[in-house]
């Protein structure tokens, strides 16, 4: 494996080098290199540094944040240099944002040399906590799942390998042993996130139902399923409101999101049938128990993986809030990215099917929108995945 430095490292170093800056918050899935990136920042940092993780057997209380901050302040006083304070997995700490706000405001008044970086793997707890308590005091950085160019540079993967194995760097060395790779993804990634970032952090009255919903989404990547049909496939499913809430929890942990249906500038999120988009294809293939070669030969399944990879590329590229799908009277377009001033429809053609009917119907109804065809007859898959998602819009 070749050691690579993600863009996040250079971004953080540039922000932290300024005389004064907001709290730097790094948000992203587990096991994609948030901690590694910050360790690279610490290695290149010219001042002192203190790293502490709240990912402990017993979640620490808010005093833990204050104690770590005091350690950083002492280092800053002794060294008389700017000191990085890294608080990792901060979503484990109840009311963490309130303490960070108090400590940061004290430092600002006293002109302390402490430079805080906060890391978290749950958008529900980290982003919401920052927005509620740290308004005007933070900058948010998203550390995404690894892209194909990163996996190609680090592991020498082909595009097909990335589409199948998904790009968790910690699992990359295990792909020669398929059973071991699946166990690692299942036990160290999926189970850790479900049990520690979802069920442990949020009151869930029906944990078995949440797990069933996750497994259902793994069987239906890039497919639309109504909440009413979900009720018929899940045991003790309760009601559609419960399912919608659990899908939001899975999305907050960067596992699977349910895209809403777009209708002429209106996103009907709760009322519409969600389209499952899994943030990393490894989650799907590890649960399927089909080998790389078997999956590649099954055109329909491979087509869904390619389509899901396109959706995941959009979500990981910072377009989660802008991305939806379109469906009307039997016609469908795979993705619609609505950025307010611009609406772009994306149709994925991987040999699985051709949806020219859906594209034609969409263009007739919304002639002012743009269209991107990805795959056969359009933008080559290699070029699409090599390019940052936002660059297409």
- The mean pLDDT value for 179-208 works out to 91
- The mean pLDDT value for 388-392 works out to 93
Residues 6+ apart with CB under 8 A from 241: none
pLDDT of residue 351 exceeding 80: no
pLDDT of residue 255 exceeding 80: yes
- The mean pLDDT value for 88-97 works out to 91
Distance CA 101, CA 120 (A): 16
Percent of the chain with pLDDT over 70: 97
Confidence band, pLDDT 50/70/90 cuts, at residue 366: very high
pLDDT of residue 118 exceeding 90: yes
> Quick one: pLDDT at residue 107?
94
> Quick one: pLDDT at residue 353?
54
Domains of the chain: 7-142 (3.40.50.300), 148-392 (no CATH)
Count Cβ atoms within 10 A of the Cβ of residue 224 and give its class: 0-12 exposed, 13-18 middle, 19 or more buried.
Answer: middle
Query: What would the pLDDT profile of 130-140 be if each residue is shown by its tens digit?
Result: 888 898 899 99
- The mean pLDDT value for 339-344 works out to 88
Confidence band, pLDDT 50/70/90 cuts, at residue 271: low
pLDDT of residue 354 exceeding 70: no
> Quick one: pLDDT at residue 132?
84
Distance CA 349, CA 312 (A): 16
pTM beyond 0.85: the answer is yes
- The mean pLDDT value for 344-373 works out to 84
Confidence band, pLDDT 50/70/90 cuts, at residue 327: very high
Confidence band, pLDDT 50/70/90 cuts, at residue 359: confident
Structure tokens at 242: 């419960």
> Quick one: pLDDT at residue 337?
95
> Quick one: pLDDT at residue 301?
94
> Quick one: pLDDT at residue 82?
92
> Quick one: pLDDT at residue 265?
66
- The mean pLDDT value for 38-63 works out to 92
Query: What would the pLDDT profile of 65-78 be if each residue is shown by its tens digit?
Result: 999 999 999 999 99
> Quick one: pLDDT at residue 393?
87
Q: Which helix (H) or strand (E) holds 282?
A: helix 281-288
> Quick one: pLDDT at residue 13?
92
Structure tokens at 169: 């760097």
Nearest Cα neighbor of 270 from 254, 247, 249 is 247
Confidence band, pLDDT 50/70/90 cuts, at residue 267: low
Query: What would the pLDDT profile of 230-254 be if each residue is shown by its tens digit?
Result: 988 888 777 899 999 999 999 999 9
Distance CA 330, CA 293 (A): 33
Instruction: Give the count of beta carbons closer than 10 Å to the beta carbon of residue 350.
Output: 19
């Amino acid at each position: 494996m070749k050691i690579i430095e993600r863009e996040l490292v250079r971004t953080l170093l540039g922000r932290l080098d300024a005389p004064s800056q907001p709290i730097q918050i790094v948000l992203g899935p587990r096991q994609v290199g948030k901690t590694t990136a910050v360790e690279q920042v610490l290695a290149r940092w010219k001042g002192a540094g203190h790293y502490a993780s709240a990912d402990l057997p017993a979640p620490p209380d808010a005093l833990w944040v204050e104690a770590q901050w005091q350690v950083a302040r002492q280092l800053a006083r002794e060294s008389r240099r700017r000191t990085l304070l890294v608080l990792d997995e901060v979503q484990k700490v109840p009311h963490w944002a309130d303490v960070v706000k108090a400590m940061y405001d004290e430092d600002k008044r006293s002109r302390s040399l402490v430079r805080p970086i906060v890391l978290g793997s749950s958008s529900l707890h980290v982003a919401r906590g920052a927005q509620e308590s740290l308004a005007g005091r933070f900058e948010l950085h998203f550390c995404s799942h690894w892209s194909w160019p990163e996996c190609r540079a680090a592991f020498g993967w082909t595009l097909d390998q990335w589409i199948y194995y998904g790009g968790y760097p910690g699992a990359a060395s295990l792909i020669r042993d398929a059973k071991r790779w699946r166990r690692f993804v299942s036990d160290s990634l999926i189970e850790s996130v479900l049990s520690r970032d979802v069920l442990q952090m949020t009151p869930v009255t029906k944990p078995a139902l949440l797990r069933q919903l996750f497994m259902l989404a793994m069987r239906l990547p890039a497919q639309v399923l109504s909440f009413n049909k979900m009720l018929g496939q899940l045991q003790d499913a309760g009601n559609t409101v419960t399912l919608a809430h659990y899908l939001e929890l899975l999305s907050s942990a960067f596992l699977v999101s349910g895209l809403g249906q777009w209708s002429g500038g209106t996103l009907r999120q709760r009322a519409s049938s969600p389209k499952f988009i899994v943030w990393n294809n490894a989650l799907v293939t590890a649960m399927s128990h089909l080998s790389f070669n078997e999956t590649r030969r099954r055109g329909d399944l491979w087509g869904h993986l390619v389509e899901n990879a396109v959706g995941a590329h959009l979500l990981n590229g910072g377009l989660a809030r802008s991305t939806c799908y379109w469906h009307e009277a039997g016609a469908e377009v795979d993705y619609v990215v609505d950025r307010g001033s611009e609406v772009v429809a994306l149709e994925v053609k991987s040999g699985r099917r051709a949806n020219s009917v859906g594209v034609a119907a969409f263009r007739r109804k919304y002639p002012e929108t743009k269209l991107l065809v990805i795959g056969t007859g359009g933008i080559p898959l290699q070029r699409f995945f090599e390019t940052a998602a936002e660059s297409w819009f």
